[in-house]
Amino acid sequence: MEKFKEKGIEVLLLTDPIDEWVTSHLTEFEGKQLRSVMKGDLDIDELEGKKDQSDSESEKQDDESKTETELTKKIKEVLGEQVKEVRITRRLTTSPACLVSDMQDMGRHLQQILQASGQQLPEMKPILEINPTHPLVMMLEDRLDDKAFNDWSHILFDQALLSEGGKLEDPATFVKRLNAIFMEMGEKQS
């Protein structure tokens, strides 16, 4: 929602669990295509009708992509089977990370409805999108040793899961990691 709000793009908020099922069957309303902001790789410039980029902007994004690819690969190695993919997002402005579904996958709410009704579902892993301009993500790039990098990668994933209304698989480990980071920060301050 952050980037859409910043750009003034209207978003229809659908908060009931059944809404995802309805919108999977109702793909258009009054000539406007309905598309989830939490699914797939959104091109916000395309939504605004801005497809042209200057050469300098393209070169800058290519340079950023090389660094970001190394970071996303490293985070993916740490998170392993928890995620389908780790990628850079342009949809966030103030948050460090979010979880999205692949375009063909079911969203979390629909999965919960079907599971509650006793249906067996194939395992669907979320995609972790990270905000390359957020200070926590920038810190991951160059300031952390391997153990701290691992802890921060897991915390980013867990925060993204919590912010979308999910439940942590292991809350005790999340708290342990946070406490360790707080202790380390406190020691540096002393």
More confident residue, 47 or 31: 31
DSSP 8-state symbol, 81: G
Of the ranges 43-57, 115-129, 171-185, which one carries the lowest mean pLDDT score?
43-57
- Tell me the backbone φ, ψ of residue 14, rounded to 5 degrees: -115, 110
Q: Identify the domain containing residue 78 by its residue range.
A: 64-189
49: left (phi over 0), alpha (psi -120 to 50) or beta: left
Identify whether 47 is part of a domain: no
Identify whether 107 is part of a domain: yes
Question: Are the C-beta atoms of residues 184 and 144 closer than 8 Å to each other?
Answer: no
**Count of structural domains, the chain:** 1
Amino acid letter for position 134? H
Identify whether 46 is part of a domain: no
DSSP 8-state symbol, 118: T
> Where residue 185 sits, what CATH number does that domain have?
1.20.120.790
How large is the average pLDDT for residues 4-12? 74
Dist. CA 124–CA 87, nearest whole Å: 17
Which two tokens mark 175? 């708290």
Tokens 């966030």 found at: 92
Dist. CA 100–CA 26, nearest whole Å: 20
**CA-atom Rg of the chain in angstroms:** 18
Q: Has this prediction a pTM greater than 0.75? A: no
Identify whether 83 is part of a domain: yes
pLDDT of residue 51: 47
Measuring CA to CA, how many Å separate 146 from each of 12, 132, 171?
41, 19, 22
pLDDT at 153 over 50: yes
Across the chain, mean pLDDT equals: 78
Identify whether 20 is part of a domain: no
Quickly state the pLDDT bin for 111 (edges 50, 70, 90): confident
Identify whether 11 is part of a domain: no
Identify whether 17 is part of a domain: no
Dist. CA 146–CA 36, nearest whole Å: 35
Percent helix / strand / coil, the chain, rounded to 5: 55, 10, 40
Identify whether 52 is part of a domain: no
